[in-house]
Amino acid sequence: TGGSFGSKHVTSKVIAIAGALSKVTGHPVKFMEDRIDNLAANDAQAADRIYDAELAVTKEGKFLSLRLHAIDDYGAYFVFAITGNTNMMSQISGPYTIGSLENGIKAVLTNKNQQGVFRGAGSDVGNWVLERLVDATSDELGIDGIELRRRNFIQPNQFPYKIPTGNVYDSGNYPGVLDMALQHADLDYWRQEQVRARKLGRYIGIGLATCQQRSTYSATEFWFHNPGPATGLTTTAESVRIGIGPTGGITVTMFSPFWGNSPETVVSQVVGEEFGVDPTTVSVTYEGTSQGLPSAGPGGSRMTVMLSGAVQGAAAKVKEKMYKIAAHLLEACLDDMEVREGRVWVKGTARSLSLTDIGMKAYWNKFDLPADMESGLEGSFTYDHPYTTAPSEDRKDLGVFYPIMGHAAHIPIVEVDIKTGQVKFLKYLAVHDVGTVVNPRSLQGQIRGGIAQGIGVALYEEVRYSPEGQNLTTTMNDYLVPTV
């Protein structure tokens, strides 16, 4: 997917403080903070939420309705409104056919660190609450958790599927993902090991979560923060420009801010596939904002989809001109042109021209080009959100604002020391349905990194306060993170 881990929302404070002090004093000012300052006031605390949650089910285990009421501690200020809760609305019913829902939010301000947005803000908490309800239902009805999930999954033939909030899931095969996870987990062995270990005083736990991960947000999400939005944003576009030079080299220009989260990898790989060249030979550059085409930048788990769409659109324009030049030079039919292996071929023949051949003609041999064709070989394209709708006036339908929905099944197997509370991972298995894979290595890194961060959230990372509101987590000895 591709967001920016919330980093863009909390930088203005430092810039503003240093700039204001510099202006007042007439001297350069450097802003510095130690770890105590950062832990106490870094503007990016995770969700601090209390849920009152109910899941209505039949005695056969069919899910009917979901009710969630949250008291959400946002810290001292609203950094980015109630995004952690509104984001969650795009996947609030999870992978299940839940027919209706009620969601209430009470936002409170305290003296704590402000709540920020991070790694698909809202997905983690929403998935956790819903899966806890599913497990509680399994215990209460005496229905195996695997079977209970199967009975309530959205089926492959039901997509695209509209959930009660109005968002639409594009596609999926949730039973297939669960089947694959179970196939590799070897649960029969681990359940036997669980019984054997218990006799020896050891405690092994086997977990299961089947959950959603939305991507490709639309600006219409902001509409239901307020009854009447001032801006009425309706798109979050991305643009690229592709140029092939006279030596055949391909350069792609991006217009989004640069966060260091490697959108260049996505762009170069898609360009490589479009033109049949090695992605490492593709140059990726950035244009300044004064000359930029529309770009919303990283955020909302959207850059892979949006940049891929922009690249394909720009590549189509470049290839259209390439084909016209090649057809003219080779005296062939325009419809017979195709690009592969970095060359333009006449289909079904051995006749072809290299990108260098075409680039040289396009830039330096005007007389060899088709009549009335301009010199040069480049194309720009702005890709708008592929599928978005506005909320209804009464906000009972929030519209489509996160339509591309990933799905995963995670099975952790752990041993717990009941005296110390220490958790040891014996096995962790994750199966993800991610749609079209652009870069397998980046994908694996995202999944493994997400698992590590999830373990950190569940077992280690916590900013604690005393009943009097005093921050008790002031060093990295107090704030623990997972280690290798």
The CATH-assigned architecture of domain 238-383 is 2-Layer Sandwich (3.30)
Strand partners, 357: none
pLDDT of residue 10: 62
Instruction: State pTM to two decimals.
Output: 0.89
Spatial neighbors of 475 by CB under 8 A, at least 6 apart, are 35, 36, 39
> In this structure, which amino acid lies at residue 375?
S
pLDDT of residue 13: 74
pLDDT of residue 317: 98
Residue 42 has pLDDT above 80, yes or no: no
> What's the mean pLDDT when you consider all of the chain?
90
For residues 272 and 252, give the distance between their C-alpha atoms in angstroms, rounded to a whole number.
11
Exposed / middle / buried, residue 474 (Cβ in 10 Å: 0-12, 13-18, 19+): middle
Of the candidates 456, 460, 469, 466, the one whose C-alpha atom is nearest the C-alpha of residue 75 is: 469
Q: Are 250 and 364 in contact (CB under 8 A)?
A: no
Range 47-74 average pLDDT:
94
Element (H, E) at 107: strand 100-108
* Domain 33-217+402-460 coded CATH 3.40.50.1000: no
pLDDT band at 12 (very low <50, low <70, confident <90, very high): low
pLDDT band at 6 (very low <50, low <70, confident <90, very high): low
Residue 143 has pLDDT above 80, yes or no: yes
pLDDT of residue 81: 63
pLDDT of residue 159: 96
pLDDT above 70 as % of the chain: 94
The residue ranking higher by pLDDT, 232 or 275, is 275
Q: Give the model confidence (pLDDT) of 157-209 as tens digits.
A: 999 999 999 999 999 999 999 999 999 999 999 999 999 999 999 999 999 99
Which range of 83-87, 114-118, 361-365 scores highest in mean pLDDT? It is 361-365
Range 118-134 average pLDDT:
86
Q: Are 93 and 163 in contact (CB under 8 A)?
A: yes
Strand partners, 286: 254
Q: Do domains 33-217+402-460 and 238-383 have the same CATH topology?
A: yes
Residue with tokens 């021209």: 353
Q: Is 6 left (phi over 0), alpha (psi -120 to 50) or beta?
A: left
Q: Are 63 and 95 in contact (CB under 8 A)?
A: no
Q: Give the model confidence (pLDDT) of 368-416 as tens digits.
A: 999 999 999 999 999 998 888 888 878 788 888 888 999 999 999 999 9
pLDDT of residue 352: 97
Of the candidates 314, 330, 235, the one whose C-alpha atom is nearest the C-alpha of residue 282 is: 314
Q: Give the model confidence (pLDDT) of 255-280 as tens digits.
A: 987 776 778 999 999 999 999 999 99
Residue 135 has pLDDT above 90, yes or no: yes
For residues 303 and 224, give the distance between their C-alpha atoms in angstroms, rounded to a whole number.
23
Q: Give the model confidence (pLDDT) of 242-259 as tens digits.
A: 999 999 999 999 998 777
Residue 471 has pLDDT above 60, yes or no: yes
Residue 9 has pLDDT above 80, yes or no: no
Domain spans of the chain?
Answer: 33-217+402-460, 238-383
